[in-house]
Amino acid sequence: MQNGTPGWVKVAELSEVPEGKPKAIQMGEGRSIALFNDDGKIFATDNQCPHMGYPLTRGTIRNGILTCDWHRRSFDLEGGGCFHVECDDLRVFPVEIRGEEIWIEPGDMEYRRAEEHKQLLREGLLSEDRWTMSKAIALLLKGGVPEEEVMGSILEHVARHIPSAHGSEGGADVSKLINGLRVGSRYEGEDRLIAVTTSACSASGEARQRLEVIPLPEPVTWEKLSRWVRVFSFEGQASRIERCLFTAYHKGDAEKLRPLLFECAFEPHFIDEPQIPLYVSYLSEVVDEFGWDRTADLFFYLGADLVGHRPQDPERYRRDAINILKEMMPTIEGAALERTNKFDEDSFVEALTSVDLQRSFEEVGAIISDGVYLDKVITTLVLLAADRMANTPVNVDAGWWNLTMELNLAASLRSAKEMGGDLIAAKGLFHVAWQIFADRWINIPTRLLSEELSKEKLDVANEEEGIETVISTIESLNVQDVGPQVIGYLNAGYSAQKLLLAIGHSVLWDDTGSEVLPTLRTVFDEWNNAEGHPAQAQLLVGLARYVTDIRSNTDNKSAATTAMNFAEGRTTIEVFEE
């Protein structure tokens, strides 16, 4: 190749590109450009098929249409336009014939196709096609589009998808979205891409436009609106709540909406509906992450559907729980919170695991009245849940849905506290305590968190070998051995963070990844909060046992790695190298 006129490059002799014999030339960082001779006229295009990267020099040309040989996507050879959905246009380059030489103007490699690739992502989200989503996300990230912007496009889809397809179950989509983002931020490259793509995939599917909600006519005040939301929440009237939330937002009361939803979600009648406060917490985080402008509609719809959910008529124990709570509420609401670090953790844990509801709730009430710092109590609840995951018998049903719910709900009380205030978080403690009581059927042996764990060290030469040992045990689905190995690894003084990242990596590349995202994120977040606690290790042990037991060993590696290679322009080169 020779440089002549600025911006133009000689790429071949005319004789090297006879009709019917396209030629591939490599440019820049291994990019491949295809030269075609169609009826005596020379054309230059990117050689990487925009669909899945197959070399277009292996395609065919008829009537000025270039058709890729792999999945038969076709393009206007001259302008690059693609005739199919879920495949963007082909990049083409100006060509000049100078004597017997072919010159092209490759232009700079600057990325200018963000809008096209966002459209591609929207198409992939609608069709639920993992490859299209992976490719679009890889291209956008590689092109320097900030991750928040990519997630913003996914969020716009989620906001329409949830009302079209799910209702309040859409909380699970929001959970995967925000937890995928949080987990992804711990990784780089392909691991990050797969976390983001996993979030996108879990929220893909139909997304219809909804009728616009309009504010209630004046005069309405915040006092009236908030009272109505509480009443409609109690009565299970989701659509009425949505209009109230919308009206309050338009009257400038946006900042009061999240505390109100938390307040409703922790009402006694939602005992045994742990997903409601948990999803309210994730929804609140989504607002924090993306701002009200992008999330308001989703917040109104899903928030209303969550707190407007009508629970089943309570059975005996739930009825008891609701009655005890109602009696205790005036004391709880009058308590002076956040005054002391001192509390007897062992007796608290004994009460919670006593299978005696009255005792459990009284103990929670006592530590609230004593003013124990809520963050300290939340750490205890998180570690208790992790400890239960570390000890649950796995022979029949380990109860993973319930146990991870205990863990994630407990951890979510930190957001409830931050966004809704201390009293709301204090009420949330009862919901975690109920969950532990309700999960009594799992028959987990009781253990105090102050009890010492095994001191045995893992017999390996170094940290790397230790990590490999644990990961291969996870991959061989050996749930009995993985717990002692994790403890042994930590006892040997090796890095917990490195092991956690390795476990997360192995989870992300397995098809069970999307299910594990919330728990993985909780363990990442909570590890430092538990620093110095004798049960800290149980966070990693519980996670390792959980991911081992539910693992499917069906990896979703190919879409993400191919998408990364595609975004780097490496797929055509690799085909040649083969």
Contact status: 120 vs ligand FES (CB under 6 A): no
158 near ligand FES, judged by CB under 6 A: no
Residue 86 Cβ vs ligand FES, minimum distance, rounded to whole Å: 10
By beta-carbon proximity to ligand FES, the closer residue of 70 and 222 is 70
CA separation for the pair 432, 439 (Å, rounded):
11
Q: At what angle do helices 557-567 and 189-202 cross, to 10 degrees?
A: 120
- Span interacting with ligand FES, options 66-74, 471-479, 535-543, 552-560, rule CB under 6 A: 66-74
Tell me the window of 4-12, 68-76, 476-484, 540-548 that interacts with ligand FES (CB under 6 A): 68-76
Binding of ligand FES at residue 68 (CB under 6 A)? yes
249's enclosing H/E stretch is helix 238-250
Query: 3-class DSSP state for residue 2?
Result: strand
Other beta carbons within 10 Å of 163: 19
Q: How far is the CB of 463 from ligand FES (least distance, A)?
A: 42
Which span sits near ligand FES by CB under 6 A: 63-71, 254-262, 381-389, 403-411? 63-71
Check binding of 71 to ligand FES (CB under 6 A): yes
Nearer to ligand FES by Cβ, of 70 and 234: the residue is 70
* Closest CB to ligand FES among residues 82, 520: 82
Cβ of 446: how many Cβ atoms within 10 Å? 13
Pick the piece of the chain touching ligand FES (CB under 6 A) from 69-77, 170-178, 182-190, 467-475. 69-77
Residue 397 structure tokens: 């049903």
Q: What's the first-to-final CA gap in the chain, in angstroms?
A: 24
List the interface residues with ligand FES, window 30-49 (CB under 6 A): 49
**How many residues touch ligand FES (CB under 6 A)?**
10
| Residue-by-residue DSSP string for 509-570 | TBTTHHHHHHHHHHHHHHHHHTTT-TTTHHHHHHHHHHHHHH----B-HHHHHHHHHHHTT-
| 52 scored as a contact of ligand FES (CB under 6 A) | yes
- Please, which residue, 49 or 543, has the CB nearer to ligand FES? 49
**Applying CB under 6 A, which of residues 23, 51, 118, 130 lies at the interface with ligand FES?**
51
- With binding defined as CB under 6 A, does residue 91 bind ligand FES? no
Looking at the Cβ atoms of 56 and 486, the one nearer to ligand FES is 56
* CB-nearer residue toward ligand FES: 70 or 317: 70
Residue 131 in the binding site for ligand FES (CB under 6 A): no
- Count CB-CB contacts under 10 A for residue 402: 20
193 binds ligand FES (CB under 6 A): no
Kind and range of the H or E run holding 27:
strand 23-27
Q: Which is nearer to ligand FES, 76 or 475 (CB)?
A: 76
> In this chain, which stretch among 71-79, 365-373, 440-448, 554-562 interacts with ligand FES, using CB under 6 A?
71-79
Residue 73 touching ligand FES (CB under 6 A):
yes
Q: What separation in angstroms does the CA of 271 have from each of 46, 264, 314, 478? A: 59, 11, 9, 35
**Residue 316 burial (C-beta neighbours within 10 Å; 0-12, 13-18, 19+):** exposed
Comparing CB distances to ligand FES, the nearer of 49 and 547 is 49
Q: Which residues does 576 contact at the CB level (< 8 Å), separation at least 6?
A: 24, 32, 55
* Residue 256: CB atoms within 10 Å: 14
List, in sequence order, every residue forming a beta bridge with 42; answer none if it has no partner. Answer: 37
Bond into 18 cis (ω within 30): no
> Is 240 one of the binding residues for ligand FES (CB under 6 A)?
no
Interface residues with ligand FES (CB under 6 A)? 49, 51-54, 68, 70-73
